[in-house]
Amino acid sequence: MASGKSTPQACKESLIAEQTYYRWRKEYGGLQVDQARRLKELEQENAKLKRLVADLSLDKLVLKDIASGNS
């Protein structure tokens, strides 16, 4: 909306849908750029850790099954 453009104009020039703009504004509206970057980094790290926990849990179940003789 810089340079006095309306939201639809700015979105069209940025090649994003208005719905996307409003979703981003709702999620990141009160954050500074560095805070938004850090949030994204933390979300990615959290997703990675969740995958690791899921993999380790699966490994544990397989080992437990093998140890009990139900292979």
Same domain membership, residue 26 and residue 4: yes
**Domain boundaries, position 62:** 32-71
- Are residues 25 and 38 both part of a single domain? no
User: pLDDT digit string (tens) for 22-37?
Assistant: 998 998 888 898 998 9
pLDDT at res. 70: 67
DSSP states of 5-68 as a string? --HHHHHHHHT--HHHHHHHHHHHTT--HHHHHHHHHHHHHHHHHHHHHHHHHHHHHHHHHHHT
| Domain identity same for 36 and 48 | yes
Q: What confidence category does residue 69 fall into, taking pLDDT thresholds of 50, 70 and 90?
A: confident
Which pTM value belongs to this model?
Answer: 0.59
Give the lowest-confidence range in 25-29, 59-63, 64-68: 25-29
Do 36 and 70 fall within a single domain? yes
Same domain, 37 and 11: no
Q: Provide mean pLDDT across the span 38-59.
A: 97
pLDDT value, residue 16: 93
Are 20 and 48 members of one domain? Answer: no
Check whether residue 41 and residue 70 sit in a common domain.
Answer: yes
